[in-house]
Amino acid sequence: MRQYAEPRTGCFGALKDFRSTSGQPTSLVPVKAITLPGVEEYAAAHTTSDPEHLVEVAAETRRLCELPQMMIGPVQARFLQFYLLALQPRAVLEIGTFTGYSSLSMAEVLPPGGHITTCELSEENAAIAQRHIDASAYADRITIRVGPALKTIESLSGPFDFVMLDADQANFSEYLDPLLERLSPNGVIAVDNVLWNGAVIDNCDGDPATDGIHRFNKMVAARPDLVCVLLTIRDGILLIRRAEGRD
């Protein structure tokens, strides 16, 4: 999910800090492909399509939201579902609900008793997400917390078996330690948009988000207490876990 902070408030009207969960601004940059032309379309065409409830979320997001490309797509959703099926997390934390597509995708494959706590700054986005969650078969598996995510995280004790960080890219580094403190011993953190349309390679576009993501990627890779892998799925996903034998 991309983050935008030209003055934006949600899906409607004049929006303010549309994807910043901390209130910090980032630049408005359109999503562009980072693969060869046609590759993403080919991947989508050969990926299991969305169930009807996700089709409805995606359709409403495209209809109401000025920046629907912030929503993850079917390829990334199926990847998350495969991963969570293997991980079997009972407690999931998501930073960046948007309109609920990713939360509902993950909720579908949670084990019995599994639950998602998802954080969203925008009340408008949260309202759209809540409506779709309430209409789904997974309403008892998802709780939306509205407000700045870092403050919400302070109020959560965890532990979480899986964390999805998908907002406030300029400030990614501020989230790492608070999330690690609340991560279960074998838990995993997934961070979206870590390639940022490829801008992180040169890191010279003057975008605070580009610099924030680049610094975060370098910081994670340099920490001996962590193991990470950066995947080139869509706009890049960084998977992080503690190194073996460390608390």
The answer to whether position 25 is within a domain reads no
Contact 125, 96 (CB under 8 A): no
Is the residue at 98 inside a domain? yes
Q: What is the mean pLDDT of residues 26-48?
A: 74
The answer to whether position 7 is within a domain reads: no
Residue 1 has pLDDT above 90, yes or no: no
Do residues 16 and 7 touch, judged by C-beta distance below 8 A? yes
CATH number of the domain encompassing residue 110? 3.40.50.150
Residue 19 has pLDDT above 50, yes or no: no
Is 10 contained in some domain? no
Helix (H, G, I), strand (E, B) or coil at 15: coil
Asked if residue 111 is part of any domain, the answer here is yes
Q: How far apart are CA 27 and CA 20, in angstroms?
A: 11
Count the neighbouring beta carbons within 10 Å of the beta carbon of residue 184: 16
This prediction's pTM: 0.85
Overall domain count for the chain: 1
CA distance 54 to 118: 17
Distances, alpha carbon 133 to alpha carbons 6, 60, 66, 81, 152, in Å:
28, 13, 21, 17, 20
> Which tens digits make up the pLDDT trace of 221-237?
999 999 999 999 989 99
User: Tens of pLDDT along 72-119?
Assistant: 889 999 999 999 999 999 999 999 999 999 999 999 999 999 999 999
Across all residues in the chain, what is the average pLDDT?
86
- Domain boundaries, position 206: 39-242
57 within domain boundaries: yes
Task: Tell me whether residue 61 is in a domain.
Answer: yes
Per the structure block, which two tokens stand in for 174?
């501020």
Q: 145 lies in a domain? A: yes
